Amino acid sequence: MTIEEGRKQFPHTWTDMIYLNHAAISPLPFVVRDAVDKFMERRALKGIESYPWAQKIAMRTKELIADLIHSKPERIAFVLNTDDGINLLASGIEWKKGDRVLLYRYEYPANVYPYLNQKKLHGVEVDFMEPEDGRITVDVIKKHLTPETKLLSLSFVQFLTGYRSDLTAIGKLCKERNIIFAVDAIQGLPHSSINVEESQIDFLAAGSHKWLMGTDGTAFIYVSEKAQGLIRQSYMGAASVNDPFNFFDYNTDRIRNDASRYEGGTLNFPGITALNASLSFHKEFGFTEMEKRVLDHTAYLISRFKTQGVKVVTPEVASERAGIVSVEIEHPEEVLQRLLKKRIIVAVRGGKLRLSPHFYNTEDELRTAMNAIFE
């Protein structure tokens, strides 16, 4: 698939709109809209009773996800959103008073409240790292670890700064120190590669409405066997057990061995169908090519900002960034409004101007945006 073909999936690109806000939410590709409509059509006529065939779509989608993060479909479960996913872990661990959780000071709240809540419920202490340059390196983490640190939860790519963590180095450290390593991958997938095995990730959650270009209300978790062993789940339903249609033999020992034990009830099958369609589309385009394009885009943006003497918050090194570029520019809200008038969509987060192009954006579009910023 060429980039021209890829771009055809996005009707907004036929207009004068330049969309550079995929870190907030992605526009829906046609393939996704079509796939959901076909799902609904089937649910209206040929497959009203969706469970058998929709489960197959869910399984195929898990296979696509498992391929992407180098795991097995058995280790994946669908949840409503990232927050729900992280809460499964946070509320499932048997915390002891005085246990500590390590977080980054400017983490997205989905990755914070589940743990602050454990402070309230179980006396868990939350430590925040705040490195001056925003780089969450192994050294920074090491410095903040205490003997009581039980868990480190980290976004793969930070939504505010665009900093991409070295998951493999951090995972190694966590393993050595016997710390549960949880990753929020929403800002990193699918354009930045993750290998949960190699990086020794215990738990991962990602919603699908940003870079994955699925729809709102569909997310997934990866749970390692080790993490599953640590979680005492509080959420369970009809679908959590083997032989689920044997309804009335209520027995929690029938709980599934794989991660689908966390799928208590009827899943958001249309949303899963959407994710299936977008991942298939991405796969056809090629994840390696996608990563390259996204990195080229952010490299271009960084160099343009630097040329203009604007302070770039995002690291310049390719291995430390992904699709987000944040800058400290004067009057960011005014810039945002000025761009909006020209139908260029960016964001302001935490007082910083944030641009987040996806693979289908072109350098032409980026140039237009930068010219508009610095006109």
Q: Taking a C-beta distance cutoff of 8 angstroms, is the pair 170, 154 a contact?
A: yes
Is 132 a residue that touches another protein (CB under 8 A)?
no
CB nearer to another protein: pick between 200 and 314: 314
Is 43 a residue that touches another protein (CB under 8 A)?
yes
Q: Quick one: which of 203, 189, 201 has its CA closest to 64? A: 189
Q: Quick one: which of 72, 97, 52, 323 has its CA closest to 213? A: 323
Is 268 a residue that touches another protein (CB under 8 A)?
yes
Q: Taking a C-beta distance cutoff of 8 angstroms, is the pair 151, 180 a contact?
A: yes
CB of 12 vs another protein, minimal distance in Å = 5
Chain mean position to CA 360: 19
Maximum Cα–Cα distance across the chain: 70
178: left (phi over 0), alpha (psi -120 to 50) or beta: left
CB of 104 vs another protein, minimal distance in Å = 11
Beta 203-207 vs 180-184: how paired, if at all? parallel
CA dihedral 165, 169, 172, 176 (to 10 degrees): -100
CB of 271 vs another protein, minimal distance in Å = 6
Name residues contacting another protein, limited to 179-208 (CB under 8 A).
207
The residue within the footprint of another protein, chosen from 2, 48, 147, 330 (CB under 8 A), is: 48
The residue within the footprint of another protein, chosen from 243, 250, 330, 375 (CB under 8 A), is: 250
Is 241 a residue that touches another protein (CB under 8 A)?
yes
CB of 270 vs another protein, minimal distance in Å = 5
Name residues contacting another protein, limited to 295-324 (CB under 8 A).
none
CB of 195 vs another protein, minimal distance in Å = 26
Is 36 a residue that touches another protein (CB under 8 A)?
yes
The residue within the footprint of another protein, chosen from 204, 219, 259, 313 (CB under 8 A), is: 219
Angle between the N-to-C axes of helices 269-285 and 287-307, in degrees from 0 to 180, rounded to the nearest 10? 80
The residue within the footprint of another protein, chosen from 2, 176, 178, 232 (CB under 8 A), is: 232
Name residues contacting another protein, limited to 336-365 (CB under 8 A).
345, 349-350
Q: Give φ, ψ of 63 to 5 degrees.
A: -65, -40
Is 257 a residue that touches another protein (CB under 8 A)?
no
CB of 306 vs another protein, minimal distance in Å = 26
DSSP 253: G
CB nearer to another protein: pick between 35 and 69: 35
The residue within the footprint of another protein, chosen from 2, 4, 243, 248 (CB under 8 A), is: 248
- Listed ranges 241-249, 297-305, 322-330, 366-374: which one lies at the site for another protein (CB under 8 A): 241-249
The residue within the footprint of another protein, chosen from 10, 285, 359, 360 (CB under 8 A), is: 10
Angle between the N-to-C axes of helices 363-373 and 332-341, in degrees from 0 to 180, rounded to the nearest 10? 120
Buried b (16+ CB within 10 A) or exposed e, 303-321: ebbeeeebebbbbeeeebb
The residue within the footprint of another protein, chosen from 71, 81, 149, 155 (CB under 8 A), is: 81
Strand partners, 100: 125, 149
